[in-house]
Amino acid sequence: MGKAYVITSGKGGVGKTTSSANIGTALAMMGKKVCLLDLDIGLRNLDVVLGLDNRIMYDIVDVATGKAKLAQALVKDKRFDDLLYLLPAAQNTDKTALNEGQVVEIVDELKPDFDYVLIDCPAGIEQGFLNAIAGADSAIIVTTPEISAVRDADRVVGILEQHPLKEEPHLIINRIRTHMMKDGTVMDIDEITHHLGVELLGIVFDDDKVISTSNQGEPIVLDTDNPAGQGYRDIARRITGESVPLMEMKDESKPTFWEKVSGWFKNK
């Protein structure tokens, strides 16, 4: 029996979809069977980030309303042999097209066949959010070091405390810019974790490549050298129960001696 995680944040644009795609891909790379559920109905993106947008036949609303069978609607990622699937959101309707009961039914049908079901939650705390948390066993809250994102995460933690899931929520701090944290211009990791009172699952550094790779439909975790990809791979390992130390913040503005030396050779 698999486990369902909802990836949520309250605020939009902090990286819920990117995190869903990358954690799902990283888990598949580890040999786990993963189903990604896009609940951002009307504004679906997860298919694009995964590069699966041109393979969609049916969507989650078709499944909920009985127009299609669940197996028909699942889109298989061919990069991973039978390990990574996506249940896409509908694009021609809105969040009210589904209710909590329908989502619970779909998630319950998926859980026996998969190790992990990751639910990509839409921004906001309306029906779409309620649908997304209804089927989940645990929540992964994504925030960035920005105050507005932390405030919204706080709101979401509050709502989750009032409607508790089976397990305590986890926290991902995304888009960390090392120099800003070191300057103290943004909240640091300890401050955010302490303030929200949620267990830290992992941190992800801000990196231009996250955007460029997602534009090509290739999650950043596939790039083995990238620090952001490393962050997501660590998160996936922690989800499977491994204990992985937190990545250290390297000051990108001041390269180490050996980085300087190798830099000289690269330039020539």
DSSP 9-61: -SSSSSSHHHHHHHHHHHHHHTT--EEEEE--TTS--HHHHTT-GGG----HH
Per CB under 8 A, 164 contacts other proteins: no
Per CB under 8 A, 197 contacts other proteins: yes
Nearer to other proteins among residue 3 and residue 151 (C-beta): 151
Q: How many residues are given for the chain?
A: 268
Among 94, 137, 154, 218, binds other proteins (CB under 8 A): 154
Per CB under 8 A, 161 contacts other proteins: yes
Alpha carbons 85 and 114: distance in angstroms, whole number: 9
**Beta strand pairing call for 170-176 and 138-143:** parallel
Per CB under 8 A, 38 contacts other proteins: no
The neighbouring-strand residues paired with 6 are 119, 139
Helix (H) or strand (E) holding 143: strand 138-143
Q: Which stretch binds other proteins (CB under 8 A): 54-62, 154-162, 175-183, 258-266?
A: 154-162
Angle at 128 between CA 102 and CA 15, to 5 degrees: 125
Per CB under 8 A, 158 contacts other proteins: yes
Tally: H helices and E strands in the chain: 12, 8
CB 157, min distance to other proteins, A:
6
Nearer to other proteins among residue 147 and residue 261 (C-beta): 147
Nearer to other proteins among residue 52 and residue 149 (C-beta): 149
CB 200, min distance to other proteins, A:
17
Binders of other proteins among 51-90, rule CB under 8 A?
none
Q: Which stretch binds other proteins (CB under 8 A): 147-155, 167-175, 216-224, 254-262?
A: 147-155
CB 155, min distance to other proteins, A:
4
The angle that helices 16-29 and 227-239 make with each other, rounded to 10 degrees, is 70
Q: Which stretch binds other proteins (CB under 8 A): 76-84, 87-95, 150-158, 163-171?
A: 150-158
Alpha carbons 166 and 163: distance in angstroms, whole number: 10
Question: Letter for the amino acid at 103?
Answer: V
Nearer to other proteins among residue 82 and residue 161 (C-beta): 161
Per CB under 8 A, 195 contacts other proteins: yes
Provide the token pair at 110. 């998926």
Q: Which residues contact 159 (CB under 8 A, 6 or more apart)?
A: 125, 129
Among 67, 69, 155, 254, binds other proteins (CB under 8 A): 155
| Residues 203 and 209 sit within 8 Å (Cβ to Cβ) | no
CB 158, min distance to other proteins, A:
3
The neighbouring-strand residues paired with 35 are 85, 117
Nearer to other proteins among residue 199 and residue 251 (C-beta): 199
Residues binding other proteins: number (CB under 8 A)? 10
| Residues 221 and 26 sit within 8 Å (Cβ to Cβ) | yes
Residues that bind other proteins (CB under 8 A): 151-152, 154-155, 157-159, 161, 195, 197
